[in-house]
Amino acid sequence: MARLAVEVPTVANGGISEDLTQITWKLQPGLVWSDGTPVTSADAKFTYEYCTHPEGGCAQAARYEGIASIETPDAETVVITFVAPKPNPYQAFVGGTSPILQAAQFANCLGAAASSCNEQNFKPIGTGPFVVKDFKVNDVVELEANPNYRDPAKPAFATMTVKGGGDAVAAARAVMETGEFDYAWNTQINPEMQAQMSAAGKGVLLNGFGTLVERIEMNMTDPSPALAEGERSTTKHPHPILSDIKVRKALSMAIDRQALVDIGYGSAGRASCNLVPAPEMFASPNTDCIAQDMDGAKALLEEAGWTDSDGDGVRDKDGVKLKMVYQTSTNPVRQDFQVIIKAWWNELGVEVELKNIDASVFFGGDAGSPDTFQKFYSDVEMYANNFDGTDPEPYLAQYLCDKIPGPDNQWQGENINRFCDPAYDALVAELAKTSDMAERGKIAIRLNEMLTKDSYVVVPLVDRGRLSAASNTLGGVVLNTWDTELWNAQDWFRVK
């Protein structure tokens, strides 16, 4: 919205009310979608209705938290009214994960119908520099220049091809060694491969730290396949093992995070105990998890009643074996992490089954697939994500009780591990109405620690720097760790 607005609303320019309960966006006149039709305030209102629909919604519903209503007094004005003062009103329609949808295109995709709207999702009509020409699942997205882009002098390229699926090594190699592609996002490769590929001289690796944290999420619900479909990994059935905080804490204590950094990332990673590692004012000073404590972890399991009663090397309690299914997406660093962490957990007396899933499936959000990270049909899973901008309020709001994915909302929800704590919900509400920045920092730190240090439902591993690859022949690239890496694709050009 900020790029489409006449100006960014503030209290000073009258765009935000003095009591912080309302923000008014004014669209630039004459804006059109890539199909040539007008962009209007009705599109923004529709997007809100789409994302907050109780039977479906969108993957970033937390960005609409605290909105009482959205009004459109004219075609170019969007008035968002909050239920209470909102010191950080730049959430809905701001950033790469909260775009405005064209109401006409998605009109028949509300609620339960959202997951079946493949044509709309694969070929969205937008306002950016490129439009989708073709979308092949797990393969490529063919883009072409938007003929109706608001700057007629841009973009510099007539077409763009985005390669998906595959693995991080192949993506990096396609830029750094073969020169087949110009840019590779999220090249999660180890330090040795980084050095080897850089030596080819065809490209450069771009690195910058932001808020991207590799972590293990603990499933607070039972993923057992013995349960009926629609009941697996739902709040109807608490996890029979991981509901015990002592087990979750022991699993965390057994991990040597610095070893993971050294093996997987080198200078592109930092051992972390925080889900929110930055900006500094929002980052907890907690470093308690950094040092591995295998003896302490074993003692904690003993205290919780988990012992190896039959001498087979696997702990048990009340006839239940301490067994875990540990899943993640397919890439070499994550598989290395799985093997190493499995060895530590085996030493702890935990039997571990490893599972890796193609990233396009794992992160795909298909409500019909059993292998998405939202469905969480495993005991623990590992991945990384981050938040747009520099304020973590909507990111922390993802762990609210009402953000749990399940069959009733087409598995659209950000609270992946099904954590639910009324005290946490209340503190998120407190953050939403707190304007003093120092106090916002304190509250965000406390929320972070409730998820990590206090409950171990989220087990941070590595504060990952963004690592992407750019061809030496591609100009205009500026790595942005606070938004989508394609944020300025309209300014990219060919170096002659």
User: Residue 216's beta-bridge partner residues?
Assistant: 382, 459
Answer for the pair 250, 297: CB distance below 8 angstroms, yes or no.
Answer: yes
Has residue 431 got a pLDDT over 80? yes
Q: Compute the average pLDDT of residues 199-215.
A: 94
pLDDT at 103: 97
pLDDT digit string, tens, across residues 216-229: 999 999 999 999 99
pLDDT at 168: 82
Mean pLDDT of the chain: 94
Has residue 114 got a pLDDT over 70? yes
Q: Dihedral sign, CA of 454, 456, 461, 465? A: negative
Answer for the pair 219, 417: CB distance below 8 angstroms, yes or no.
Answer: yes
CA distance 47 to 4: 15
CA distance 10 to 255: 45
Answer for the pair 444, 393: CB distance below 8 angstroms, yes or no.
Answer: yes
Q: What is the pTM of this model?
A: 0.87
Has residue 304 got a pLDDT over 90? yes
User: Residue 206's beta-bridge partner residues?
Assistant: 468
Has residue 35 got a pLDDT over 80? yes
The fraction of the chain above a pLDDT of 70, given in percent, is: 100
Q: Compute the average pLDDT of residues 3-26.
A: 97
The fraction of the chain above a pLDDT of 90, given in percent, is: 83
pLDDT digit string, tens, across residues 433-482: 999 999 999 999 999 999 999 999 999 999 999 899 999 999 999 999 99
Tokens 């009103």, residue? 89
The 3-class SS string of the chain reads CCCCECCCCCCCCCCECCCCCEEEEEECCCCECCCCCECCHHHHHHHHHHHCCCCCCCCCHHHHCCEEEEEEEECCEEEEEECCCCCCCCCCCCCCCCCCCCHHHHCCCCHHHHHHCHHHHHCCCCCCCEEEEEECCCCEEEEEECCCCCCCCCCCCCEEEEECCCCHHHHHHHHHCCCCCCEECCCCCCHHHHHHHHCCCCEEEEEEEEEEEEEEEECCECCCCCCCCCCCCCCCCECCCCCCHHHHHHHHHCCCHHHHHHHHCHHHEEECCCCCCCCHHHCCCCCCCCCCCHHHHHHHHHHCCCECCCCCCCCEECCEECEEEEEEECCHHHHHHHHHHHHHHHHHCCEEEEEEECHHHHCCCCCCCCCCCCCCCCCEEEEEECCCCCCCHHHHHHHCHHHCCCHHHCCCCCCCCCCCCHHHHHHHHHHHHCCCHHHHHHHHHHHHHHHCCCCCCEEEEEEEEEEEEEECCEECCCCCCCCCCCCCHHHCEECC
pLDDT at 339: 98
Closest CA to 471 of 181, 159, 37, 263: 181
Has residue 163 got a pLDDT over 80? no
Who wins on pLDDT, 297 or 113?
297
pLDDT digit string, tens, across residues 179-199: 999 999 888 888 999 999 999
Q: How many CB atoms lie within 10 A of CB 235?
A: 14
pLDDT digit string, tens, across residues 38-60: 999 999 999 999 999 988 878 78
pLDDT digit string, tens, across residues 63-97: 999 999 999 999 999 999 999 999 999 999 998 88
pLDDT at 267: 87
Q: Compute the average pLDDT of residues 481-491.
A: 92
pLDDT digit string, tens, across residues 239-276: 999 999 999 999 999 999 999 999 999 988 999 999 99
Here the tokens at position 491 are 């300014």
Closest CA to 207 of 198, 196, 199: 198
pLDDT at 115: 79
pLDDT class of 165 with cuts at 50, 70, 90: low
Q: Which domains does the chain have, with CATH numbers?
A: 22-119 (3.90.76.10), 127-208+466-494 (3.40.190.10), 210-464 (3.10.105.10)
pLDDT digit string, tens, across residues 332-359: 899 999 999 999 999 999 999 999 998 8
Residues 6+ apart with CB under 8 A from 436: none
Has residue 369 got a pLDDT over 90? yes
Answer for the pair 209, 270: CB distance below 8 angstroms, yes or no.
Answer: yes
Closest CA to 369 of 137, 25, 201, 191: 137
Has residue 164 got a pLDDT over 80? no
